[in-house]
Amino acid sequence: MKTSLSDNLAAAGPASAASSASSPFNRELRRHTLSAGAFLAVMLLVPAVFGTGYYLNTLNFVALLALPTLGLSLLSGLSGQLAISHGAFFALGAYGSAILSTNLGITPLLSTVLAQVIVVLIAAAIGSVVLRLRSHYLAIATLSFAIIVELLIEEARSLTGGMQGMLGIPPIDVGFMELTSDLEIYLLYWPITIVMLWFALNISSSGVGRVLRAVREGEPVLGSLGIHAPRYKIGIYILSSIYAGVGGSLYAHFVGFVTPATGSIMFAIEIIMVLALGGFDRLWGALVGAALMTLLNEYALGFADFKRIILGVGLIVIMLVFPRGLLPGLIDTARHWFARRAG
């Protein structure tokens, strides 16, 4: 029926002069490994140089907020779709791992992994219903899902503690050592976040990323090439949701408690805001956005009422002025400005 790979190569005749020993994917992989490795080295040097202090606690929140944002960035950057469900999956990861470790006594590292199984099943269910459709129903469908999760967390009191939330969630332990200090958490969480960044960068440069970038332009054409687009769209949505779920589980074991605020629509919008700050199609931007938002939360937006207004207006302004996101927008503006000065 079908031609094999070697037949295909043979049929085309001899290769062109452009033939290269290493493929572009190899070069991209090397670049990502170098940049992520360098970044990790810098982050590990930070406490060695500056010592311990409250700033490590802040940086831990940056690493945690970066995870759902990386997931969303992977989804929006590749498939061009936004989901409002990343707050809900963060909450599922947080409550899932909290319930498994607190009520059933499962060790936190294992409960973190088990919580992701729940995340994968739900994301697969949502994805396989919504992503078969070609249009942008994902945002609306995931908004409904986020509202359901928020309600369930508030109502399932016996499991989630309702509005009171859950207290006394055990910290992650490695072997016999429980990670409780900011420094210990920092040394575990930052490598996790950076490895997940590296993974996302690799995906984006891979064949999977190529198909997803093409999906945005023409699913029927991909079909004629024998590529089943929904499979890829569902896959990236699940992967993207795991990022949020892992972030949630690690969060729960870091702060030791969870409340319905963790899974609120407000938090889902905050994640979209972080994405808008760092740029909708830039994976590294997710880290910059998470750092900016954590600083804003820490020093400027402590008051909840203000925060809603500022985030809402801020998001609208960014979307209007810089449709690709604040950071890429500012970089472009600066580049134009310097070019004009130079010219």
Partner 1 sequence: MLWVTELSKSFGGLNALKDVSFEVAPSEIKAVIGPNGAGKTTLFNIIAGTLRPTSGSVAMDGTEISGKTAAAIGMAGIARTFQQPQVFTSLTVMENVMLGANRFHKCGTLSSGLGLGAARRAEKDLHEIAEKWLAFVGLDDVFQRQACELPLGQQKYVEIARAMATGSRVLLMDEPAAGLDDTETGELGELITRIRGTGMTVLLIDHHIDFVMSLADSVLVLNFGQWLAEGTPDEIRNSQAVIDAYLGSTEDA
Site residues for partner 1 per CB under 8 A: 1-5, 7-9, 11-20, 22-26, 29, 32-33, 199-200, 202-203, 206-211, 213-214, 216-218, 220-228, 235, 239
**What is the spatial distance between Cα 324 and Cα 282, in angstroms, rounded to a whole number?**
9
**What is the spatial distance between Cα 183 and Cα 180, in angstroms, rounded to a whole number?**
8
Burial letters 142-153, b for 16+ CB under 10 A, else e: bbebbeebbebb
Minimum separation from the CB atom of position 78 to partner 1 (A): 12
What are the helix and strand counts (H, E) for the chain?
A: 15, 2
First CA to last CA across the chain, in angstroms?
Answer: 60
Nearer to partner 1, 71 or 165 (CB): 71
Minimum separation from the CB atom of position 16 to partner 1 (A): 3
Nearer to partner 1, 10 or 41 (CB): 10
Per DSSP, the residues of 73-89 read HHHHHHH----S-HHHH
Q: What six digits make up the tokens of 164?
A: 């009171």
Question: 328: number of CA atoms within 13 Å, CB side?
Answer: 17
Angle at the Cα of 38 (from 195 to 244), degrees rounded to 5? 25
Nearer to partner 1, 6 or 158 (CB): 6
Rg (CA), the chain: 22
Minimum separation from the CB atom of position 247 to partner 1 (A): 17
Nearer to partner 1, 153 or 200 (CB): 200
Nearer to partner 1, 20 or 158 (CB): 20
Nearer to partner 1, 19 or 135 (CB): 19
